Amino acid sequence: MESENERPRIGIYGAGKVGTALARLFVAAGHPVLIAGSPRQSALDLLVGVVAPGARVADALTLARESDIIIVAVPFGKADSLPWDEFDGRIVVDAMNYWPPIDGTIDEVEADGRSTSEIIGTRNTAARLVKSFNHLGYHEMEDDALPAGAPLRRALAVAGDDDEAKAAVARIIEAIGFDAVDIGALREGAHLQPGGPIFGRELDRTELERLAHERVTA
Label residue 105 by pLDDT band (50, 70, 90).
very high
Percent of the chain whose pLDDT exceeds 90:
86
Length of the chain: 218
Q: Where are the domains of the chain?
A: 4-217
CATH 3.40.50.300 at 4-217, yes or no: no
| pLDDT, tens only, 6-50 | 899 999 999 999 999 999 999 999 999 999 997 666 789 888 999
Whether residue 41 contacts residue 18, with contact meaning beta carbons closer than 8 Å, is answered with: no
Q: Which of 5, 71, 84 is nearest to 34 (CA)?
A: 71
Cα separation of 21 and 15, whole Å? 9
Under DSSP, the state recorded for 8 is P
Query: Would the pTM of this model clear 0.85, i.e. be above it?
Result: yes
- Give residue-wise pLDDT tens across range 51-99: 999 999 999 999 999 999 999 999 999 999 999 999 999 999 999 999 9
**Maximum Cα–Cα distance for the chain, whole Å?**
51
Nearest to 35 by CA among 81, 76, 67, 80: 67
- Would you state the pLDDT for residue 2? 43
205 has pLDDT over 60: yes
Q: What angle do CA 216, 71, 118 make, to 5 degrees?
A: 40
